[in-house]
Each structure stands twice: as structure tokens, then as C-alpha cells.
Amino acid sequence: MLAGLARDGGLYLPAEWPQFSKAEIAGLKGLPYVELAFRIMRPFVGDAFDEAAFRRLIGEAYASFETPEVAPLKPLGDSGLHLLELFHGPTLAFKDVALQLLGRMLDHTLTARRRHATIVGATSGDTGSAAIEAVRDRKTIDIFMLFPKGRVSEVQRRQMTTVLAPNVHNIAVQGTFDDCQDLAKACFNDLAFRDRHALTAVNSINFARVMAQIVYYFWAALKLGAPERPVAFTVPSGNFGNVYAGYAARQMGLPISHFVVGTNSNDILARFFESGTMTMTDVVPTFSPSMDIQISSNFERLLFDLYDRNGVTLADAMTAFRSTGTLKVGANALAGVRALFDAGRVDDPGTLAAIADCRRRFGETIDPHTAVGYVVAQQHRRDPAIPMVVLATAHPAKFPDAVEKATGVRPPLPGRLGDLMDRAERVDGLRNDVDELKSMIDQRRAMAVAPATRSKVRT
């Protein structure tokens, strides 16, 4: 949790998955979300947290959600499709589910160890605000969030820059999202710098995020008849963290018939599941920007199983992938993943049509990411008797332009964000230059020890 990425560049995984028998899963039925979360995550944390403290952190994390259900499940008529609404947290995207908890777990641990950590991250939109909301005002943590100047939506930018907490540092980089990511990576690759500031990452490669996301797969499946009845899930995907958490739930014993991976026109995942070959291409902007990715960072975790959990061969394959831009798995491995994963892509016109269709048929307004899931879910119902859960990953008001284009109606921001457009913003500019970034972090951290000036405030 504290390290994020392993020092050798690999990703952390549990040596073995905790197992839940059919009887144990049946015993989880009817539990409130917070208690279910405790039972599912307990085996992962071991004795790193005592029970009472862990329960309390989970309770506090989900008290920040608009509904005590945390993740309401809504049937779409009698179609057999269900929306699992994961967007009732403070920043209106599913990332709050994991980050609200991770922020508290980090703070709790750092406080106990009397330590401070510095988060450096890059965001193309949703991750930034969710991470900032998760750690704002914590004395144990500073967060430096890089975003490409002028390339995130106004709602997304304001959700970050209107947080004026002293430990939050928003940085608008003159460059693309990839430039931001490279800057963040360069900080981590400088081991002296990394150690000096106890750098940590809260992007989706942090295993604690995967852990927290496993819970809602159990939650939804239990509501739909698990363990007696299997359930299918469709996941609008980018970095593959969300759907990987579903895979983990299945490894733990949850009866999931199959997964459908939805992508927008940036379809590296869909192409992989069709051909067994992963090939990098350029990223094109779409209406579902949180899925505009070139490489899915969590996919390496699934590949680990496809490489028979052999870390050495996987590391070689990943190195080759980074230099050649291509990775191919064998026919057996491909057949294995295809048994469990279907995949499909939806372009921008298809996304708008889906938002309109869902509203017309079922009276539900969905966001563009969820809309991708809504389409591919219907294309891959392997068995009509098995309920299909579509993960609704963002609130429609987070992407008002696309939703208005599709439906003619601009979705209003929920009450607690109603004044977002009037709040003061604070943000620093940065050239695409890693030395400039490092000296900014050095200075801010020195200043935090001896507070002096603050960065500029604009309204």
C-alpha cells in the first residue's frame, strides 16, 4: 500500500487469493455494505490493521457517500440488465470507492509510524480529483497532481483546483497526459528523490485499490442470487483495474459466469481479446476520456496468470512490449482468457446513441463510460437467464456536454457540487520539465516544514 509500485518495477499481488466457500458466501447475504467490505477485505490486510480500526476506516470512507447503500443496484426494466451505480462518492466516479478508503488507510498507517508521504500522480481527469478528495487536509500526506493544461474538462479541473487544502498541489503541465505520466514516472525512477520524499502512488496499480473494488462484485452478485446463481459483469475499461478486481472476486470463489470488457475507440484491450496480440497505437480523444489509454497498466496482473505466474518470463515479455510495442500470448492462454472474457468497442456516435437509447427505453440517464458498457453488455449476453450487471462508473453530470448532446437535457450536478463553478481555484503552471517539477516538490516540502508563501490563488 505504501510503496504502490514495487522497486523492481513490478506490480504487487497476493501470493494466493483468500478463498470463500459457497456456504461462506451464502453467509454474507444481507450484510450492509460496510460490514461486507470488512469481511471481504479482512484476509488481505492480515494484522496490518487491528479489527476495530479497520472497521472504523471503512465506515468513515463510505459515510462520505451520498447513499448508505454505497453502490445501489438498479434493474433496467425486465431486460435482465442491471446498473451498479458506483458514482455516489464525493467526486462522482467509481474511483472514490477505493480511494476514499485508501486515503484513510494511508493516513492511519503514516500517523502510527510518525511518517510523512508524498503522492505524485498524473491524471487525465477522474483519478486526480478522487485522489485529492481522499487525502485533502491530511497532515501525513502531500499530493502533487499533474494534469495536461487545457485538456481536462472544466468540471474535472474544478474538482481538483477548488480544493484549497494546504497539502494539495495542483499542477497544470504544458503538455499531454502522457507527458504528465512521464514526469511522474521520472520522479519515481530517481531513487534518491523517491526516498527523500517517501513517494507513493495511488494510481490503479496500487493493490489496495484493487482490494477495495473486489467488494462491490460480491455486493452485486449477492443481491442477484449468488452463490446459488451465477452473475455476469460488464466493465467499461481503461487501465483494467476495475475488471481485474472482478477477476479477483471470481478467483476468491464468487460464481461469475463471464466478464465483458468495454472500450471506446482506444481499443487495445478489445483487440487483445480478439487476437491474443496487444499492439500499442496512438490515443484518440473520445467522449469517455477516462478510458482513453494506450496501455492498460493493470493488464500485467492478468498476464501474470497467463504466464503461469512466472514473474521472470512476464518481466521479459513486458520489457519487450515496451520496446517493440507488441505482446502476443500463445493459443492456449488465449483460449483460456476467451472462456472468461468477451470484449467489444463502441465509438463516439455509438456512445451518444446508447445514452439516448437507455433514457428512452428505461428512463435512466447514463454517462458516456457507462454507455459503452451498456452497448457491449447487450452484445455479449451469453445466457439470457444469467443476470448481467453493467458497472456504472461515473455520474452523468460529470460529463454534461456528451449527455446533453445525446439527450437534449443537461444533467444537473448533485447538491453538494452545485456551486462548483463558483468556487475559487488554485493551480500552478509547469513546463514539461522534470527538474522544474522536482525543485517545486523540494521547495514545497521545505516550506511545509517552515511555512512561508502559498501559491497563487485565482478566482
Ligand X SMILES: *Cc1c(COP(=O)(O)O)cnc(C)c1O
Which residues are known to be catalytic? 95
Spell out, one character per residue from 74 to 93, where the chain touches ligand X: x when CB under 6 A holds, - when not. -------------------x
- For residue 306, what are the CA distances in angstroms to 15, 309, 332, 337? 15, 7, 9, 8
Least distance from ligand X to the Cβ atom of residue 299, Å: 9
At 75, phi and psi to the nearest 5? Answer: -70, 145
Least distance from ligand X to the Cβ atom of residue 241, Å: 3
**Whole-angstrom distance, CA of residue 233 vs CA of residue 250:** 11
Tell me if 238 contacts ligand X by CB under 6 A. Answer: yes
**Whole-angstrom distance, CA of residue 431 vs CA of residue 174:** 5
Position among 162, 239, 351, 407 found at the interface with ligand X (CB under 6 A): 239
Spell out, one character per residue from 380 to 419, where the chain touches ligand X: x when CB under 6 A holds, - when not. -------------xx-------------------------
**Whole-angstrom distance, CA of residue 401 vs CA of residue 405:** 6
Q: What is the CA radius of gyration of the chain?
A: 21
Tell me if 369 contacts ligand X by CB under 6 A. Answer: yes
* Spatial contact of 458 and 193, defined as CB atoms under 8 Å apart: no
Position among 89, 121, 148, 241 found at the interface with ligand X (CB under 6 A): 241
Tell me if 227 contacts ligand X by CB under 6 A. Answer: no
**Whole-angstrom distance, CA of residue 57 vs CA of residue 51:** 10
Find the part of the chain contacting ligand X (CB under 6 A) among 67-75, 234-242, 314-322, 429-437: 234-242
Find the part of the chain contacting ligand X (CB under 6 A) among 67-75, 179-187, 239-247, 425-433: 239-247
Nearer to ligand X, 232 or 245 (CB): 245
Which residue spans within 150-298 are E strands per DSSP?
A: 168-173, 199-200, 231-236, 256-263, 277-279
Count of CB atoms situated within 10 Å of the CB of 324: 10
Angle between helices 299-306 and 331-340 (to 10 degrees): 120
- Regarding beta strands 277-279 and 388-392, do their DSSP bridges make them parallel or antiparallel, or are they unpaired? unpaired
Nearer to ligand X, 135 or 293 (CB): 293
Nearer to ligand X, 126 or 267 (CB): 126
* Sites for ligand X among residues 119-158 (CB under 6 A): 126
Query: Cell triple for residue 9?
Result: 518495477
Nearer to ligand X, 159 or 290 (CB): 290
Nearer to ligand X, 148 or 236 (CB): 236
Sign of the Cα pseudo-torsion (283, 284, 285, 291, in order) = negative
Find the part of the chain contacting ligand X (CB under 6 A) among 158-166, 222-230, 233-241, 334-342: 233-241
- The set of residues, in sequence order, having a beta carbon less than 8 Å from that of 450 and lying 6+ positions away, is none
Tell me if 289 contacts ligand X by CB under 6 A. Answer: no
Position among 240, 259, 287, 307 found at the interface with ligand X (CB under 6 A): 240
Tell me if 354 contacts ligand X by CB under 6 A. Answer: no
AA letter at 428: D
Least distance from ligand X to the Cβ atom of residue 244, Å: 8
Least distance from ligand X to the Cβ atom of residue 455, Å: 27
* Spatial contact of 23 and 12, defined as CB atoms under 8 Å apart: no
Q: Which residues pair with 31 in a beta bridge?
A: none
Burial 396-414 (b: 16+ CB within 10 A, else e): bbbbbebbebbbeeebebe
Least distance from ligand X to the Cβ atom of residue 256, Å: 17
Least distance from ligand X to the Cβ atom of residue 202, Å: 13
Least distance from ligand X to the Cβ atom of residue 393, Å: 3
Tell me if 28 contacts ligand X by CB under 6 A. Answer: no
Q: Which residues bind ligand X (CB under 6 A)?
A: 93, 95, 126, 204, 236-242, 290-291, 369, 393-394
